[in-house]
Chains A and B, each alone.
Chain A
Amino acid sequence: MAAEPVLEVRRVTKHFGAVKALTEVDFRLERGEIHALCGENGAGKSTLMNILAGVLQPNDGEVLVDGAPVKVGSPAIAQMLGIGLVHQEIALCPDATVAENMFMAATNRRRSPLMNYGALEREAQMVMNRLAPIDVRRKVADLAISSQQLVEIAKALTLDCRVLILDEPTAALTEAEAQALFGIIRDLKAAGISIIYISHRMAEIFSLCDRVTVFRDGRHVVTEKIADVTPDDVVRRMVGREISQLYPAKQAPEARSDETILSVRNLSDGDRIDTVSFDLKRGEILGLGGLIGSGRTEIAEAICGLRARSKGEVALRGKVQRIANYRDAVNAGIVYLSEDRKGSGVFVELSIAQNISVLDLKTLTGPLGLLNSKAEADLARDFVRRLGVRMGGIDMPVSSLSGGNQQKVAIAKQLAVRPQVILMDEPTRGIDVGAKSEIHRLLRELAETGIGIVVISSELPELLGLCDRVLVVREGAIAGELDDTDMSEEAVIRLASGVTQTDQIATGRTANVA
């Protein structure tokens, strides 16, 4: 067959500063196929998709549409070329209606200066009905996350694109919604539209896709027909890397403590998490793995009072704690480091000292309600030295620090109240490699002082390299526990995506839900 692929990428390279996100990547999308793209977080999938959608520009290499080289200089050009991308993150206007959001891109291209809202809503409702019964006149802000995700998809459907890229579209969807989406994807394929489908879920890939491409560390590893491979093959190709020596030594078996420091029983919030139970030992680093949206963050939030729970209890050293809000958790000795560092972690305009002292104001305040600034500075100096924060001075604003050092300040803030348990959500996200290993070493040192640490991470190497034990979360429940002997990236991916055995693939996802 000599037919040109509808979309082709030749030797594309993209780097951000010194970091190479993509190295001479080749990729071909045939007409009317559903092509799965797999790889760990950071493998370069999203970078490539953003290049195809005109969001990023490659440093080298070329993109061809129907065999002709093109320059996708902006998202508008991508639209004109018929390439539609459904982002993993929701990017909608919360105050506009579903219909307005769906036709935002289309409106941009339309010639007429006036809006015909009646026609707009009718048309939007028609598209939406294929996916789910959502009233298109509702505001996006009023919808649940899964419905918002469906709006993102519906938005892409309104553009008459020839290539549709779906980046983990089912991450936030329920089973029924996902099934409806698969039906539509098959319809689109029948209509001749080519689809790139990014997902971690092997069951979905093997029931839906025609071919699969695996990326690893910014390189193209392999492209195969789905019929020729097994999920095991794909997972092995995705991993294929040795865990480097960058991680600090784990707890020695003889150093293990039997003392349970934190014990969580039957924790539920009636929504995202379902009867979660686990124990955290003294001096242990416990990992929480799983897909984005699987409920890991929600579990941490429910433990420390940032999320209302419907049942379950949290005990510290055997004593059940009453934790109604975050202040209670801090007083009990449990602190939480948010994954969203800038959004809810640090105060960027304020000084390093002022950031470190925020949880500890009471002990720093004198009888007249005045802050003891010397004590505050001493506290800050102490932690800055212990954590090795590189800075100009403790009076400098946090905005003057690098990401890694900002994160150290956020950790220092938590340590200032002498916690017994630290919950850390993506502690090294967006941090360069050097600072990353410093933070890992720091966490290990903290654990050795007898603190219990829970680390939530989407990076498998980090999870396996750092943690003494890993719990894998799937759909709000603990899907399995891995200790040092059976810990492997394959095992985590299997548990996270719901593939238990090779022969269960076809029914994998549905079986797990039942």
Chain B
Amino acid sequence: MAVDTMVATERQVPAWKRIGTMREAGLIAIILALGLVMSFASPHFLTFGNMRAMLMSFSVEGIVVVGMTILLIVGGIDLAVGSVVCFAMVLAGSLFLAGVDPWTASLVGILASSMIGMIMGFFVTVVGLNHFITSLAAMVIVRGLCLVITKGTPLSLFTLPASFKAVGQGTFHGVPYVILIFVAVVILFDFLLRRATAFRKVFYTGSNEKAALYSGIKTKQVKFWVTVLCSTLAGVAGVIYMSRFGAATPTFGVGMELNIIAAAVIGGASLNGGSGTILGAILGIALLSVVTSSLILLDVSVYWQDMIKGCILLAAVSIDHLLHKRKAV
């Protein structure tokens, strides 16, 4: 029958072509192009110091982006990450000042962040609120908690032992630990997201919750644990910041969530759930970081920076939407 002969089992798509269609490739191209322009515009851009500073600047935020991306894939969102980063920082910091060993204090800070994730997960899955409202409330509550813990004043932690400060400030063969931790987290979760069955369920749930439910996937459980994961990674970022700055400010991380969400979305995560990659999200935050760095080197007023970043977000998402729309027709 004619039909049978027409059936192509699988057209072989060359590897380079597949890469060419990936949005990650587009982001890499934009970042490289921007870098090229900047290396002519400013002699300081292409220096080792500037490169390392840029990488450092988004490494810790990058850990939070990983959690946010997974949460976006499941169809959720977390506006409280900035507050939770700060919360882990000030809780661990004040425990240390109260005489607790800094490592133990950090662990408590991270676990307490997980608890916040569990509480949010409870409201989302059991009470049935959506992620947006739940995390909006958590953002304000947790920020308040930070102010309560510190009584509103920054904690000075210069007495932190050198071994602990090394996490945020030290290097291993010239590479900062912070960057190593970040790379490890990225590789781990990128692998899990591609290969682990548990994380596959995140995609099913986010893509079509009803179909996932009809396929016997416990979608509420999936949503709960992804919420917890996102808060936990925010907690991890919080204690790394503490180590890096040797201080804990109750106003740290205000507005951070927007940067994080913007990065994930530029990297291809959909607010409707079902799509997103770790690599894309990391490139998203790298792009925002390169832009920030460039603006600073070009002496652009700080007041302009947020505006320009917002425009980049709008442009990236619009281009993506239009490309998809054309494909769908």
Contact = CB atoms under 8 A, between A and B. Distances in A.
B34 interface: no
A348 B208 contact: yes
A178 interface: no
A373 B199 CA distance: 13
Interface in B120-153: none
Q: Which secondary structure characterizes the binding site on chain B?
A: helix
A381 interface: yes
Interface residues of A, number: 40
Interface stretch (A130-138, A182-190, A282-290, A382-390): A382-390
B10 A381 contact: yes
A371 B10 contact: no
Contact of B197 (A365, A391, A393): A365
A359 interface: yes
Contacts of B327: 400
B208 A369 contact: no
Contacts of B208: 343-344, 346-348
Nearest to A385: B9
B172 interface: no
B11 A371 contact: no
A384 B327 CA distance: 23
Given A349-B275, A373-B195, A384 B216 contact: no
A513 to B, nearest CB: 33
Interface in A393-417: 393-394, 399-400, 413
Nearest to B194: A373
Contacts of B12: 393
Interface string A321-356: 000011100100000101000011111111000100
Nearest to B198: A369
Interface string B4-20: 10111111110000000
B197 A369 contact: yes
B203 interface: yes
A4 interface: no
Contacts of B204: 347, 350, 354, 358
B312 to A, nearest CB: 24
A393 B10 CA distance: 5
Given A358-B215, A388-B4, A392-B13, A350 B207 contact: yes
Contacts of A306: 214
Nearest to B218: A327
A361 interface: yes
Given A345-B211, A346-B208, A347-B204, A384 B10 contact: yes
A198 B198 CA distance: 50
A391 B11 CA distance: 8
B7 A388 contact: yes
B200 interface: yes
B283 to A, nearest CB: 20
A370 interface: yes
Of the listed residues B6, B194, B207, B213, the one surrounded by the most CB atoms of chain A closer than 10 A to its CB is: B207
Contacts of B323: none
Contacts of A389: 7
Given A344-B214, A348-B208, A361 B10 contact: no
Interface in B71-116: none
B216 A327 contact: yes
Contacts, number: 91
A29 B4 CA distance: 50
A315 interface: no
Contacts of A161: none
Contacts of B307: none
Of the listed residues B7, B8, B10, the one surrounded by the most CB atoms of chain A closer than 10 A to its CB is: B10
Contacts of B8: 390-391
A217 B216 CA distance: 41
Interface string A432-445: 00100010000000
Interface in B8-36: 8-13
B12 to A, nearest CB: 8
Nearest to A345: B211
B275 A347 contact: no
Contacts of A388: 3-4, 7
Nearest to B192: A370
A434 B7 CA distance: 13
B44 interface: no
A325 B216 CA distance: 8
A316 interface: no
A354 B203 contact: yes
A373 B196 CA distance: 10
Contacts of B215: 326, 358-359, 413
Contacts of B214: 306, 326, 336, 338, 344
A364 B6 contact: no
B52 interface: no
> 3 smallest A-B Cβ distances: which pairs?
A327-B216, A347-B207, A349-B274
8 contacts: A343-B210, A348-B207, A349-B275, A361-B200, A371-B200, A373-B194, A392-B13, A393-B13
Given A350-B203, A350-B207, A358-B212, 19 more contacts: A325-B216, A338-B214, A344-B210, A344-B214, A345-B211, A347-B211, A349-B270, A349-B274, A369-B197, A369-B198, A381-B10, A384-B9, A385-B7, A388-B3, A390-B6, A393-B11, A393-B12, A393-B13, A400-B327
